[in-house]
Structure 1
């Protein structure tokens, strides 16, 4: 152990648990304390952001900077264009990223971060509205701001009352409150969230249509109603869907025959040598439109305990098929 390392002491599990519980209490109190101080200034900040023609530019140093990055990301994903600009880098050219049509959200618990206070005069000359999130309403940052959001806390969860802990939790909660109020004011919907998260599970569920994942063309097992049973089985085996559509010459679905139907016929001891597809099909099967969401097909199959479904076009003609494996490969389920 180096000479500068803290002296080692015996680990006390009870002490660790006590500190953890105290941390939860202190940080919960810090968040609840925001309620009494969140009023007209908060509403003004939301209104100001709604009126911005550009982006919300979030700034913060140290731990406040980490919180700022998260706030910017949350705003951007919930309908408010936003980005994070590091205050130190701003003094060396990145101020050019900020335009008069933007709004600056500067975060500093003490409100005296040198990197932020150094660029305040420039921001004021630029004309971009400045919203301060600070625990010190009498700070330099607060005095330059158009709107001040009080994120102050009584004490940090750190036993030394030094490391930013409760204060950053309060900043995070206040940022989330802004994002929630803004998305509500914008009428932001689930579909809008999905469009900004196309790679996520929600995006796949809300943006993936059956036409994107279904089997189509020759990959769809289909036979006519008079097709002999052996040929029906060959079609099912060749296409690997676990089922086959029975359709008329115009492509309208008459029925479906599945692996489950085959098992039930075998269990009954049925003579399958001379039957045709119409004799063994399940008539009027459940179908779904090609323009439906893939997740709707998953819900349909789950509700009716089936593993495949036929897809039809707007005229009710067979155009595709999908099973649970197809949806799993597309990560819809």
Structure 2
């Protein structure tokens, strides 16, 4: 039997395309329209259609770009990494984990401190008992150099006695010159002990040679001479004025050795510091006198311990009252 040919479409006959023709029915992902081979209206280009839920090209997955009127799907949240608590040293970890980003305003952890701990504080109240115990502890930790330097003072005193016995000066002038020479040696020795005590408060136990590492010997001698004259004139009037003058000059050599101040500036700085802290400094001065007196009772040999402890205690007071560095151990 001869097959019946399919009916010719209107399009083949030159007529308008049949909208019901299954070839031109819109499928999912396509715009409904006329023959896709015919150019679109008002444009000279044919649109390249690809299958998709919105009829235009797109990528699958969250956060992909969309080119239509559909709402954008938000990108998936990024999991935050745990971040250590930052703050001052001792309140958080010493180091952050690699790759971690600190939050805004975070303070990086401080690096650990090695060696002698140094504590710089604001000027505060002096604890006399703490000053004496600090001096004793520092002396016990490094007794050799301190005993050696103090022994130099005893040698100077014995040399003075020997020179007087050998020369037997009969006039005042030779005796005065010998006395001034001995005083100069004692003042330089005091500056050396101040230098050593400053090393101790910095956290560096000095050797014997370190005590004499000061380059302002001229200012040391002039400052000590002015302090001696003030104390001598005050003592000539009465014991109390002489004691007050010595008390006011208590830290003058510290300002010369530590801050390289001139004689008058160092005396003024010492006066100001003592007046501002009169009661604790007075108690410290009385304690130093008692310690020195106890050292004298042991035939002078006790000064080998009393002298260094007193120098360390006074230097501790100087650094504490001026807010300087004091080694914690």
TM-score band by shorter chain is under 0.3
TM-score (norm 2): 0.23
> Relative contact order, CA 8 A, sep 6+: which one is greater?
2
TM-score (norm 1): 0.23
More strand by share: 1
